[in-house]
């Protein structure tokens, strides 16, 4: 009974089968940028997440995550590419204007 109550109220830790860092898919080139889909598993769904990179005097990257979720990783990855293209279209050169090697989009 005590173990049941402990699990019910969040005691103990269950082993996680999720990787610490989401796996990045092969990049898709778009207007001189590379979009890497890296959906994150969350509560049985896949959340849209990815990285936009641009090689210019050293690798620079911007990580993005969205609240959109999908039932399969493949669907989330496809939508991640769409969102990455949208970010590039909206922000273009300003995406890396701060010169920082990494950050959030």
Question: CA 41 to CA 21: how far, in whole Å?
Answer: 11
Q: For the whole model, what pTM was predicted?
A: 0.75
Query: Of the ranges 1-10, 16-25, 44-53, which one carries the lowest mean pLDDT score?
Result: 1-10
Average model confidence (pLDDT) across the chain: 83
Question: CA 84 to CA 48: how far, in whole Å?
Answer: 10
Both structure tokens of 24: 């990045």
Average pLDDT over residues 39-63: 88
Question: CA 78 to CA 90: how far, in whole Å?
Answer: 19
Q: Which domains does the chain have, with CATH numbers?
A: 22-104 (3.30.160.350)
Report pLDDT digits (tens) over 13-46. 444 454 456 799 999 999 989 999 999 999 999 9
What pLDDT sits at residue 16? 47
The DSSP bridge pattern shows strands 45-55 and 40-42 to be: antiparallel
Residues 6+ apart with CB under 8 A from 29: 35
What pLDDT sits at residue 3? 52
Identify the band that residue 75 occupies on the pLDDT scale cut at 50, 70 and 90: very high
């Amino acid at each position: 009974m005590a173990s049941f109550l402990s699990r019910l109220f969040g005691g103990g830790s269950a082993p996680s089968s999720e990787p610490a860092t989401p796996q990045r898919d092969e990049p898709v080139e778009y207007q001189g940028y590379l979009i890497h889909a890296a959906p994150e598993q969350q509560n049985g769904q896949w959340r849209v997440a990815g990285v936009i990179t641009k090689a210019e005097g050293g690798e620079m990257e911007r990580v993005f995550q969205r609240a959109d979720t999908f039932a399969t990783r493949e669907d989330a990855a496809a939508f991640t590419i769409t969102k990455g293209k949208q970010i590039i279209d909206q922000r273009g050169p300003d995406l890396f204007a701060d010169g920082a090697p990494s950050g959030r989009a």
